[in-house]
Amino acid sequence: MSEHIPFGYKCLNCGKLHYPKHGRCLQCKHREFEKVPVSSEGTLITFTQLKAPPSGIESRSLFLGVIDLGDVRYTGQIEVESIDSLHIGMKLVATWKQVRTIDNRSIYGFVWGPP
């Protein structure tokens, strides 16, 4: 499966989906998982506009939020023009992009935006 679709780690014993990865299931402590695609569209649970980003982020301000995909949640950057375009409960979809640099390496991840 492509790296560029949001995914979860499904417990091969009880079926619980996790994101991020754990070595043992949070529900049944089983050790084997399958990486499965999950919905790339979700609902915004909470958000912020961060005006003091850490080193490694080039922009001076960053929109961040927690997105509920139904089976799992993701935390990530959101691409909008202003905080006024964000509200709890709005729909967002994922795209795969560079999210920051760490020690001059480009780091990629899911970035969220209105559909």
Report what 115 binds from Zn ion, other proteins, none; CB cut-off 5-8 Å by kind: none
DSSP string, 5-66: S-EEEEETTT--EESS--SS-TTT----EEEEE--SEEEEEEEEEESSPPTT--SS-EEEEE
Q: Nearest approach, Cβ of 11 to other proteins (angstroms)?
A: 14
Picked from other proteins, Zn ion, none, the partner binding residue 100 (CB below 5 to 8 A depending on kind) is: other proteins
Specify which residues 112 forms β-bridges with: 78, 94
Rounded to a whole number of angstroms, the minimum distance from the CB of residue 102 to other proteins is 7
Q: Which is nearer to Zn ion, 4 or 31 (CB)?
A: 31
> Where do contacts with other proteins occur on this chain (CB under 8 A)?
18-21, 26, 45-57, 62, 64-66, 73-77, 83, 88, 99-100, 102, 107, 109
Distance, in Å, from the CA atom of 15 to the CA atom of 39, rounded to the nearest integer, reads 16
